């Protein structure tokens, strides 16, 4: 029969090993989630207001586009074409092969006006852009706050290879918490 002190010590060592194992599994799972599946990012700037505000914290899904197609309306994070060290977040407006033109702020895709309920009247602008065809493998992106956004109207369509995530969930601040639409 074991001494009660020895039994207590062995029991505490078993509990400690289980605790270390659980912490190790949690760290590995967190590392996997953050590096492979989801990545936390911070919004810098106001070009995606009102959906995303300056300093919002959100998660981007890094695997989404490996299994799903990029669709019009997706909010994506990409490396800025003119400086790949910087990342931008914008909404997909034009898909590869789309004909797009902008007439006094009104976006037309393939000859049809685009319904943009996510752009409030006060964030619209009156810029125009001649018709263009979005090249294969590229996407036309725009910010929701059109009057201040630097987007494909300025730097052109974004190559698919530069897009690395889809904005999915705002987790901070709490008053703006929710799914990105």
Classify burial at 67, counting beta carbons within 10 Å of its beta carbon; exposed 0-12, middle 13-18, buried 19 or more: exposed
47 a catalytic residue: yes
In 3D space, the residue among 180, 95, 106 whose CA is nearest the CA of residue 140 turns out to be 95
CB-CB contact of 114 with 98 (8 Å): no
Q: Which residues lie closer than 8 Å to 72 by C-beta, 6 or more apart?
A: 92, 93, 94, 95, 109, 114
Q: Which of 26, 62, 69, 90 is catalytic?
A: 90
Q: Which of 12, 26, 30, 47 is catalytic?
A: 47
Residues known to be catalytic:
47, 90
């Amino acid at each position: 029969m074991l001494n009660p002190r020895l039994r207590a010590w062995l029991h505490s060592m078993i509990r400690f090993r289980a605790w270390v194992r659980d912490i190790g599994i949690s760290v590995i799972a967190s590392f996997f989630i953050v590096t492979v599946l989801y990545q936390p990012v911070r919004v810098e700037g106001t070009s995606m207001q009102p959906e995303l505000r300056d300093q919002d914290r959100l998660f981007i899904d890094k695997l989404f586009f490996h299994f799903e197609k990029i669709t019009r309306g997706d909010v994506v994070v990409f490396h800025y074409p003119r400086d790949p060290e910087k990342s931008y977040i914008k909404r997909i407006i034009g898909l590869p092969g789309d004909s797009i033109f902008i007439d006094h702020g009104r976006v037309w895709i393939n000859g049809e006006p685009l319904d943009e309920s996510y752009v409030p009247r006060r964030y619209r602008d009156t810029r125009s852009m001649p018709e263009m065809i979005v090249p294969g493998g590229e996407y036309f992106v725009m910010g929701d706050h059109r009057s201040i956004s630097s987007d494909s109207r300025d730097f052109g369509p974004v190559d698919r290879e530069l897009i690395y995530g889809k904005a999915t969930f705002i987790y901070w601040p709490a008053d703006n918490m929710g799914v990105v639409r």
